[in-house]
Amino acid sequence: MITKRSKQLYRKACSVIPGGVNSPVRAFKAVGGDPLFISHARGSKIYDVDGNAYIDYVLSWGPLILGHAHPRVVKALKDAVQKGTSYGAPTELEVRLARMVLDLYPSMDKVRMVNSGTEATMSAIRVARGFTGRNKVIKFEGCYHGHADGLLVKAGSGATTFGVPDSPGVPEDYARNTITLPYNDLDAVKTVIEKNWKDIACVILEPVVGNIGCVLPKKRFLSGLRRLTKKYGIVLIFDEVMTGFRVSLGGAQAYYGIKPDMTCLGKVIGGGLPVGAYGGRAEIMKMVAPEGPVYQAGTLSGNPLAMTAGLITLKILSRKGTYERLLSKAEALEEGLRDASRRAGIKTRFYRAGTMFCTYFTEKEVVDYTTAKRADTDRFARFFRGLLERGVYIAPSQFEAGFISLAHTDRDIERTVGAAYEAMRAL
């Protein structure tokens, strides 16, 4: 396929933007070649600047659950923009979206809108520290919670009681407050909490890990975390920026029946515009300024356009029968991809949680960061290219989740499965 215009634009972009992109994973580094520049998108398709069309399973990394440029979202935004774009003052729209979110996430009594998932998790951790008066944070290897300093921390050596920076620019003493443990390893959590609970403010995790592909919680992992954190007065934060509205309408917490103390949301909640949110139990959220002493703010938080896109998206998504339709598409895709792998004779492991999924190029079970990293990334890169040449666009990394939308048709799924079979056979 011709990608001449993308290549020209990429060269230009590299002269004015670091790495030519505004977010690293978009640069195709993990799969080789230059990134495609997109000119527009509609429904389940995206179109690059050279006129190539692709069935899109990235959906802007999750948000476009209705598909691109949904007519009702476009119309609602057109009407909203006539009234201005942001006032820096309260509006009825943000009250309505907050109410809708609390109805779908009953573990939250109050919710604060911000502009990204990073802001949501960064703020939730500050509130948990303010609420408990403790400093340490437990996170899990492979879980990504945005790029706030204290979260760019990998497992320290030895007993993992102290993290080490995962990026230059993160001071050692920030990292020291973050304890990174293996996901799905409840014993490791128990040992560290029993030893350090007096210093631990919160445990934060992706209840299904979308940032190493799609890794499911082992039986009793989430309930074990809930029991341990409750026992020691530690705030349990579910980072549902990706799993929210994706694992189920009520997120992973509804699907697995676990009530966290705080929840972070993003992506789908903004329907494609910049929205993040964090919320939790009343006694915790009353710590948040101006009601309480923990400061957090944002110029464009809750702006009318983003609230409009979020409201109409959740309204359509909540309509009776819609989620079932979405899930049946995801099931059909899973069945087809598993079958394609069998027929092509390529050993893969496929995992799905609601409408997010991942095909790992490995024969062994994937349960955490270490086992995910065993996947054959070269083989994935060739698979990625093979799909692209056949008009299917998946995330340009083995360690990212795929997403489906209401706009994906049976024909799209059929074509995707056919392309996957051909691309796997070519491996």
- Catalytic positions are 144, 239, 267
3-state secondary structure at position 115: coil
Structure tokens at 363: 């024969």
Cα–Cα distance for residue pair 10/263, rounded to 1 Å: 37
| Pair of tokens at residue 424 | 């796997």
Give CA–CA dist 144/211, Å, rounded.
6
Near ligand KE4 by CB under 6 A, which window of 42-50, 144-152, 296-304, 372-380? 144-152
163 binds ligand KE4 (CB under 6 A): no
The vertex-106 CA angle with 72 and 231, nearest 5°, equals: 145
Cross-strand partners of 165: 153
Half-sphere exposure of 411 (CA within 13 A, CB side): 4
Regarding 116 and contact with ligand KE4 (CB under 6 A), the answer is yes
145 binds ligand KE4 (CB under 6 A): yes
Stretch that binds ligand KE4, among 116-124, 153-161, 305-313, 376-384 (CB under 6 A): 116-124
Query: Of all helices (H) and strands (E), which one includes residue 104?
Result: helix 92-104
Per rule CB under 6 A, is residue 368 in the interface with ligand KE4? Answer: no
Q: According to CB under 6 A, which one of 56, 94, 141, 239 is a site residue for ligand KE4? A: 239
Smallest separation, CB 178 to ligand KE4 (Å): 15
Residue with smaller CB distance to ligand KE4, 212 or 367 = 212
Instruction: Work out whether 117 is an interface residue with ligand KE4 (CB under 6 A).
Output: yes
Out of 57, 131, 140, 144, name the contact with ligand KE4 by CB under 6 A: 144
Please tell me the distance from the alpha carbon of residue 234 to that of residue 218, in angstroms, as a whole number: 21
Binder of ligand KE4 out of 242, 285, 312, 381 (CB under 6 A): 242
Distance CA 392, CA 127 (A): 42
* Stretch near ligand KE4 under the rule CB under 6 A, chosen from 37-45, 139-147, 365-373, 381-389: 139-147
Supply the minimum distance, in Å, between the C-beta of residue 235 and ligand KE4: 17
Question: Amino acid letter at 74?
Answer: V
Rounded CA-CA distance 421/336 in Å is: 9
Cβ proximity to ligand KE4: between 25 and 164 the closer is: 25
Q: How many residues bind ligand KE4 (CB under 6 A)?
A: 19
Least distance CB 210 / ligand KE4 (angstroms): 6
**377-389 and 410-425 helices cross at what angle (nearest 10)?**
130
CA distance 240 to 143: 11
Shorter beta-carbon distance to ligand KE4: residue 27 or 413? 27
Tell me which residue of 88, 102, 45 sits closest to 314, measured CA to CA.
Answer: 102
Provide the residue type at 211 as one letter.
N
Positive or negative torsion for Cα 101, 102, 103, 104 = positive
Q: Is 48 left (phi over 0), alpha (psi -120 to 50) or beta?
A: beta
Pick the piece of the chain touching ligand KE4 (CB under 6 A) from 117-125, 129-137, 163-171, 298-306. 117-125
Q: Which 257-296 residues touch ligand KE4, going by CB under 6 A?
A: 266, 276
The interface region with ligand KE4, picked from 36-44, 45-53, 112-120, 249-257 by CB under 6 A, is 112-120
Using rule CB under 6 A, residue 146 touches ligand KE4 = yes
Closest distance of CB 243 from ligand KE4, Å:
7
Give the residues lining the site for ligand KE4 (CB under 6 A).
23, 25, 61, 116-118, 121, 144-146, 206, 210-211, 239, 241-242, 266, 276, 400
